[in-house]
Structure 1
């Protein structure tokens, strides 16, 4: 299947470079380009891409708010957002994850890694760098002025013991194959557990599960 990608960045040359890269992959196509956050939301609603590559800093509507609007739109539940940032220590990353982004990527990432990131997020996985992400989440949870908690409909207490184990590993940044290896499960079983956890907690994707794991104390920065 072809991965349909929407590119959102206010710099024309950056969008052009990303478009050339995406179109160079046989399994991807660019369905639209947006220069503002507002335009990104409008094009997402029009084209319903599989994934939006979203710059955080854009005019009219920043990438975080644009991500929040896309994630809140019931008609766009299958649309994933991969946010772009200049630095992996940018605290806006966590705010974007809370808003509904499925992961983040720094702009100086190598081309092949960016294509792999698009495939990863489009396949339903989260793309998180455990080290920087854990530091950012810990920092924001300690700060009274930090971003509010991610909104979910349930808590870890509603999970079985095995599901809590899986959630802890998700919080540490492990993918399904790695979780399966640690717990002695098949990758399919690990994936099923993750899906059930998202259903019980009402989480949009794995990125939100990471934040829940930290906020509940199941994962601590030193434990990653």
Structure 2
């Protein structure tokens, strides 16, 4: 059950960070505006801040005492705290920089002359993005997506603070490992550790295979 929940949370988090990370990465790679570096720094903060700090920020933002949390509860009956949806949000926030940074780097590495040539031939900006820019940058982006999936799969601190540890509902694999160790269930902990380690190793090997640097050396 914990493995299935972890895969669902990590999969949804990876999907959300892919959409947002690619969009924001492209924006910062192509647009020039005041405060761009500040925005880049703020978006990268989840990579260096302790997960418990991120979890606290999310509790303040989404809790019932917050303006957003109160509005969601009163208008839509949505409570994100201690739910698997809250776990997805926590994992997405933590994993976001792992998509955003590679996406920005991948877009910046695309030769702008190729994009300009496509525009000269009458191709719209949207078509240029999907026919020229994205195909040239997709390997770097995909490597970031895989890393974000692995990070979301192993997320612990922020998820525990936002979603808690409710068996069958919000208890992800990493939290289940912690609970098993606390309960002295070493056999269970060992099994769970082997599972999550194997999945993360497979993801990292795939991400390394797709890394732009390795592609360039071939």
Q: Provide the TM-score with structure 1 as the length reference.
A: 0.23
With a CA cutoff of 8 Å and minimum separation of 6, indicate the structure with the bigger relative contact order.
2
Q: Provide the TM-score with structure 2 as the length reference.
A: 0.24
